[in-house]
Amino acid sequence: MHIPDGFIDAPTSAAYGAVAVAGVGYAVRRASAEVDDQVVPLAGLCAAFVFAGQMLNFPVALGTSGHLLGGVLAAVLVGPWLGAIAIAVVLLVQSLFADGGLTALGLNITNMAIVGALLGYLLFRLVLRVLPARLGSVPAAAGTAALVTVPLAAASFVLQFAVGGTVDLPLGGVTGAMLGVHVLIGIGEAFITAATVSLVVATRPDLVYGARHLLERAPLEIRGAAGVQAGGAAISGAAVTGKVDA
């Protein structure tokens, strides 16, 4: 989905550049309150994983391409704000090597960091709300969000092309090609995202940002059960004592 230079006109590219700057700037402010010694290395690993995954490109239409996004994966593991920053950094580095144009950087960040990571995380939380409140639901919710987010990012590109496309291609053909390819990519990304998140949840659930609220509930439930047991033991002890005294 990397958009090359000149594929979208300058006014549209500039407008989306402003959207990208505002979105990433806000993400930086929000992420600054969540950064710790555990999250930063994981964010770097996510960025490296996404960078490698996006090297597999599938030609779609005259200079643009389809590929894995990785936005939901990054957002679920390190949080939506840091995840969006990681994707934006990957796109910036790629643009320096002609994988996506520098003038189209705002367009690509909007599609893959803002839609891919931020909107993707929102979808993840919405799906998670309808699933059982347990750690096993996290990979399923992440995979579902990835499945939906990839075509949404493709639809975002179609909107950009409809507004400011410079290439003489029929909008219907571009729409069909982009959505058709990215629905298939979304299926693959859903499996990859779910499998990766499942592996991390199984080994180090404390590192999964999207599972933190579930981990916070678990100690309360354990303490509550222990309290009930302790209370029951005290009552039983009192009853036994009462019988002996009688």
CATH architecture of 10-211: Orthogonal Bundle (1.10)
Per-residue pLDDT tens over the stretch 42-88: 888 888 888 887 776 666 655 555 678 899 999 999 999 999 999 99
Share of the chain above pLDDT 70, in %: 83
Per-residue pLDDT tens over the stretch 149-176: 999 999 999 999 999 999 888 999 889 9
- Per-residue pLDDT for 13 more than 90? yes
- Kind and range of the H or E run holding 60: strand 58-61
- Per-residue pLDDT for 227 more than 50? no
Task: Tell me the backbone φ, ψ of residue 66, rounded to 5 degrees.
Answer: -115, 150
Tell me how far apart the alpha carbons of residues 196 and 185 are, in angstroms, rounded to a whole number.
16
- List Cβ neighbours of 111 (8 Å cut-off, separation of 6 or more): 1, 3, 153, 154, 156, 157, 160
The two tokens of residue 113 are: 């960091």
pTM for this prediction = 0.82
